[in-house]
Chain A
């Protein structure tokens, strides 16, 4: 835990006057649990007693005081899932991962939790692994879900996957192509732009395959920094009109040759993006 990170969360919430629960949620989403030192800091800064903070942190189920695993596996045990066999699914996860509900495997890979309803009742039993929904699950599928998670749920097989395709983009200001055939990423010409952050100025190459998040940068990969994007030809800032739906950083927009606009989040590491094929905006 870093003190300044927690302080910046506290500061953010001071501005928007949201309560303790939102503060704790943001801390938890940063560290996957609520570190004791963070709670102490929250108590100090908000002027509330540590007992109060601890009370709130233990009252609500979504908070964890223990570090959680790399993957969070939530098995829905709502009524609709229950009558369709969710208890068997939950038991099978417990057996295969060899942990009880709300526990983490010793190798810190998986945390298993039972949740009361995820609101996707029509297609239950539901399992959510790191935000990916699995529907109509039966017990023989449990093993496959665990295997898939270990292999990486986000990894689309770029070459075979028909959902992935190339976007030919250009600068919204000078209309000059941003494609760079001299350097391939994922086997296709990359998109080259100029980025700057904290006084440093350099190139960034993005995969032109829609659905791939491969990037290369002059500075190496810096996650969680918001960068300003510029056209390498006319040097105009590629500023989008909206904020990232995931992290609220400004979006960067580029024209798609075949029609429309693609927007990506300016925060490195964030996967927020929008492909708007008729270009009507919001």
Chain B
């Protein structure tokens, strides 16, 4: 009989004791040959959208055809963070990094790995020094990061629980089970000074203590909030996709510490891969006895179910999330009573964000003392940000708390993407605000960002340059929030609508200075008189742009001019002297509004132009001006 699986004897056998777990872990470690060259292909949503699936297929084909499957390993992982360079390939153990790989290059890479060579022509080129860099960890984007959470994505195939176990996975759980003191776990998390990574920054240990102190009559709930609704933020998706077992382990430890017996992971429906990987991981844990009754033969029982969201931003708010889990409309409720007293089905419930849960096994494994060495006094540990927008190196960056915005933007992000200067960074999603470039010295921690008129939020960091109109950004967020307001509070429902209308008038050149004053007043009313976090923070995008970029509003109002060339009513497209008459724009124009002879400068007919931007997108000579 042919051997199908190396571990067929023990394949997915239930682990009846901690000793059985240790035995499995030791055997996995023993069988693993860390000197064997391994091709690591990140295949998170971003990477797959960029073509990683093709690379995986071709690699498998090459390894099979050349008979290399015993000599070279292949690991498919979640996101490593450097989305700009996707699809990319990492070679272990050398750490060689190849960005922007295509099918042809992949074939060469497999060949080179087999021969133990490095392909110099395919290496990453640092744009500031034009230097070629071989190793991933020497690339500026990775160098300044402290990748406590993200680096673990590189080590595991998210659909293989053995990968996770082999890499010290579930060791923190075992440590907690062996110790047998739930109280100690709570104290440890408190001592780590971990604060909620979802945005508000509530101390996690304190939340757990409150839950642990609730009487356990009919059970308690733990929730992982993976309703990552902030547009521009996707670190939770990447952790769930790339390392679902770390979340499960975190929740198991939380359950043991607080006496909760039921966990819920609430994932937004827009993340199909995160849902898929989590489902697989949950199933594996059930089969292996890491979830369910008598986990690893102890008397600790805990189960987790997955609940999908259905596209409502407000459900990230904890009381709305609870209602959604109960199968109701996701309308927030008055607090108190707080969820920790009365949550899902009236039972005590503690809700933590994905990244918070992912930090728990690290704290337990390393110890609170070690963990709190990273970061600042009031904000310990690392935080993952999604660095996106008008910046050269887009992707996920994990940095110690307290690092300055400047270091992230210039050193890790590599600065502006084009000639246009960076003027602001938006943090905290629709609840946050814009921080102008002259305040980029600001250290990133919960308190400094709040003082600057923004919030830490879940970690979206959207970079804006001179081609971004701040009025348009404010309009964008008001439009977003007026749609997402659940409608329960009048001031939120109508106030945001009115704020949107005023900002829209400004963007059309129809605003007045009086109206700007009204806008500010209205913003403060909405802030003070709504019930939940959505309404209370909704005016932030308007207030912060008014605070730092008032001149842009005034320019729209007084001179009917959009300096960034974004607000459609105030701009015209024209062709400048750079035009070579290549006629590419003529073919792209859907309205046939561009005229001119071949090899002669062209012109745009303003009456016909619908300002769709197609000509600007295709022009290679920067010959299309928007003013």
Residues of A within 8 A of B477 (CB): 79
* Other-chain contact of B388, A62, A124, A280 (Cβ < 8 Å): A124
Indicate if A197 sits at the interface (CB-CB under 8 A).
Answer: no
Task: Let me know if B231 and A258 touch, CB within 8 A.
Answer: no
B64 within 8 A of A: yes
Cβ-based interface call for B63 (8 A): yes
Given the complex, which residues of A lie within 8 Å of B309, measured CB to CB?
Answer: 21, 60
B311 pairs with A61, CB closer than 8 A: yes
Q: Are B64 and A277 in contact (CB under 8 A)?
A: yes
Most chain A CB neighbours (cut-off 10 Å) among B74, B231, B473, B486? B231
Closest to A132 in B: B49
**Chain B residue at minimum C-beta to C-beta distance from A17:** B305
Given contacts A17-B305, A59-B329, A210-B57, contact A117 B229 (CB under 8 A): yes
Q: Which residues of B contact A281 (CB under 8 A)?
A: 5-8, 11, 160, 162
Secondary structure class of chain B's binding surface, majority of residues: mixed
Interface residue A25 (Cβ < 8 Å from any Cβ of B): yes
A interface residues, how many (CB within 8 angstroms)? 78
**A116–B272 contact, CB under 8 A?**
no
Interface string of B592-626 (1 = CB under 8 A from A): 00000000000000000010111001100000000
Contact B73 A278 (CB under 8 A): yes
Q: Is the CB of B159 within 8 A of A56?
A: no
Interface size class of B (residues with CB under 8 A): 35 or more
Name the interface residues of A187-211: CB closer than 8 Å to any CB of B: 210-211
A115 B83 Cβ-Cβ under 8 A: no
CA distance A278 to B50 in the complex (A): 26
Is there a chain B Cβ closer than 8 Å to A98's Cβ?
A: no
- Report Cα–Cα, A122/B448, bound state, in Å: 26
State whether A122 and B394 are in contact (beta carbons under 8 Å apart), knowing that A79-B231, A241-B11, A277-B74 are contacts in the complex.
Answer: yes
User: Quick one: which of A84, A134, A138, A162 contacts B49, CB cutoff 8 A?
Assistant: A134
Known: A61-B312, A80-B389, A122-B394. A172 touches B4 (CB 8 A): yes
Contact A116 B313 (CB under 8 A): yes
The segment out of A65-73, A87-95, A147-155, A217-225 that lies at the interface is A87-95
B188 in contact (CB, < 8 A) = no
Q: Mark B422-440, 1 if CB is under 8 A from A, else 0.
A: 0000100100000000000
Chain A residues within 8 Å of B468, by CB: 83
Report yes or no: B476 in contact with A119, Cβ–Cβ below 8 A.
no
- By a CB distance below 8 angstroms, the chain A residues around B426 are 79
Whether A256 pairs with B64 at a CB distance below 8 angstroms is yes
Chain B nearest CB from A178 CB (Å) reads: 12
Task: Please indicate the chain B residues that have their CB under 8 angstroms from the CB of A260 in the complex.
Answer: 64, 69
Given contacts A82-B476, A119-B234, A259-B64, contact A60 B386 (CB under 8 A): no
Interface residues of B in 383-438 (CB under 8 A from A): 386-390, 394-396, 426, 429
A contact residues around B74 at 8 Å (CB): 277-278
B327 within 8 A of A: yes
Distance between A225 CB and nearest chain B CB, rounded to angstroms = 22
Complex Cα spacing A181 to B588, Å: 50
Contacts of A21 in B (CB 8 A): 307-310, 324, 327
Could you list 10 A-B pairs, sorted by A, with CB under 8 Å? Answer: A19-B326, A60-B309, A61-B311, A77-B231, A82-B473, A116-B480, A126-B49, A245-B159, A258-B65, A280-B162
Q: A80-B462, A120-B45, A279-B3 are in contact. List 16 more A-B contacts (CB 8 A).
A: A25-B310, A60-B311, A61-B312, A79-B231, A81-B231, A91-B612, A95-B612, A119-B237, A138-B618, A140-B588, A163-B57, A172-B4, A174-B1, A258-B67, A282-B161, A282-B284
